[in-house]
Amino acid sequence: MSISTKFQIFCDNLRITDDKVTKIQTRYKAITKRINTDYWGWESETANSLYVGSYGRDTDIHVSDIDMHAILPDDVHSKYKKYKFNGQSVLLQDLKRSIKETYPLSYVSADRQVVVIPFTDGIKFEIVPVFDHTDGQSFIYADTKNGGAWKIVNPRAEIKAIRDMNLACNYNLKRLCRMLRAWKDKNALSISGLLLDTLAYNFISQWDHSDESFTFYDWMTRDCFEYIGNQSFQQKYWLAPGSNQYVFKKGSFISKAKTTHQLALKAIQYEESDRDKAANAIWRQIYGSKYPL
């Protein structure tokens, strides 16, 4: 089996299955319809909501946490801004009660910025109530910490930046983002999905072979982990593509990237000498069991 075929199978194995996508869409529509009914006065299943986070950027490999933004009318924002203390918390509690109308038997909670619905199959929705910002691009969201505050976030810009770069580099960016998540899982690393996507974006935007095919995915692995391993240990944050928001480092991953780079070099040597089984064992050491034998 060629290196191209193996990495293509691996990338296919990382995709979320159609049945789970259907389940997510069904719940997303039900939540959207409930919020639109209570806050906008109409029953649309699609308007005024947006997938965000890794699922929204189409770089996720799991369905455990589904992040979505529920866009509420401006007059609702005005209502909660008038509260002298933590109107943000009141907003989250009101949204929680709204969603409970659709899921009366579910445990729905409100936590700092999100309303959370954990389903029994392990899928958890985290809904952030937001309002359109005057720039027409960003959102205003509620943070209940320390008495409450209104903050700005711009997931649309991040989604667009990832989408545009993915198209410019022959669809390799999103695949690389998913591969890095498999590496994170295999090595039990503490690193956010947005930081993985940011590192992948920054790497592929300057990689000489960014628009090549699966044939170059062994080199992409090698060069990407060399790039990540060369990040400064002192660096505390990176700028997310599109939004330029700070993405903070939560744990250590640079040393593991350096080790992974050396493993990739060895795997490539085995590939070049037709020692497929030895090479596959190392690729699985890097990425886990979804890499084909």
Is residue 13 within 8 A of residue 290, CB to CB? The reply is yes
CATH 3.30.460.90 assigned to 18-153: yes
**Average pLDDT for the chain:** 97
Which pLDDT value is given to residue 233?
A: 95
How far is residue 71's CA from residue 55's CA, in Å, rounded to a whole number? 18
Rg (CA), the chain: 21
On the question of pLDDT at 184 being above 90, the answer is: yes
Which range of 80-84, 120-124, 198-202 scores highest in mean pLDDT? It is: 198-202
Model pLDDT for residues 13-43, shown as the tens digit of each residue: 999 999 999 999 999 999 999 999 999 999 9
Query: Which DSSP symbol is given to 148?
Result: -
- The dihedral built from the CA positions of residue 107, 112, 114 and 118, taken in this order, carries a sign that is negative
Give strand pairing partners of 118: 124
Q: Is 76 left (phi over 0), alpha (psi -120 to 50) or beta?
A: alpha
pLDDT for res 97:
97
For residue 64, pLDDT beyond 90: no
Residues in Cβ contact with 125 at an 8 Å cutoff, skipping those fewer than 6 apart: 27, 28, 31, 66, 68, 116, 117, 119
The structural domains of the chain, with segments of one domain joined by +, span 18-153, 157-287
* The predicted structure's pLDDT at residue 143: 96
Inter-residue contact 80 to 88 (CB < 8 Å): yes
Give one word for 122, left, alpha or beta, with left for phi > 0 and alpha for psi -120 to 50.
left
Q: What are 137-179's pLDDT values in tens digits? A: 999 999 999 999 999 999 999 999 999 999 999 999 999 999 9
Residue 84 has what DSSP assignment?
S
List the one residue out of 131, 123, 92 whose CA is nearest residue 21: 123
- Residue 97 and residue 115: Cα distance in Å, rounded? 10
Going from the C-alpha of 185 to that of each of 89, 100, 101, 114, 180, the distances in angstroms are 34, 33, 36, 25, 9
Global confidence as pTM: 0.94
Give, as one character, the DSSP assignment of residue 232.
Answer: -
Rounded to an integer, the average pLDDT of 76-83 is: 96
Question: Would you state the pLDDT for residue 221?
Answer: 98
41-61 burial, b for 16+ CB within 10 Å, e for fewer? eeeeeeebbbbbbbbbbbbbb
